[in-house]
Amino acid sequence: MAPDNADPCESLSRAQEGWNTGDGRMLAASCAEDADFVVINSTFITGREAITAGHQQIVDTRYKDSHLSTTIEDVRFVRPDLVIIRVRSRLRYDQDRALRGRSTWVSIRDNGEWQVVAFQNTPNVAFDRENATR
């Protein structure tokens, strides 16, 4: 954990809660103003407002009433103020369908607070093909 007991993984918890409550603003609240996001379809988005708007659009439409669960695989402090977090995720949607994936979150500590500066989602395509109707 961080030397001062701050928890950079709180951003992931808030993002998951934001997704599960359909709140794009909460989902992106821990992102830096100029954060970068590589979407699961490889689209590149920059900025907290764009990340908020993009997520709000999908939780209001295609993934409305979906449920995201995440498991932290690894937390690596590159420096005391720079961390890389690897995450596994499962998104249940459209009755019993699910998508699985991995994401990588990069956060920095600035003025005593952790901010996500970059994250990327990667789908687990093999799982999705096998379980397309589960």
**pLDDT one-digit tens code per residue, 31-76:** 999 999 999 889 999 999 999 999 999 999 999 999 999 999 999 9
What are the tens digits of pLDDT across the range 88-107?
Answer: 999 999 877 899 999 999 99
Domain range for 109 is 10-130
Let me know if residue 82 belongs to a domain: yes
Let me know if residue 92 belongs to a domain: yes
pTM of the predicted model as reported, rounded to 2 decimal places: 0.85
d(CA 2, CA 54): 31
CATH number, domain containing residue 65: 3.10.450.50
Domain count, the chain: 1
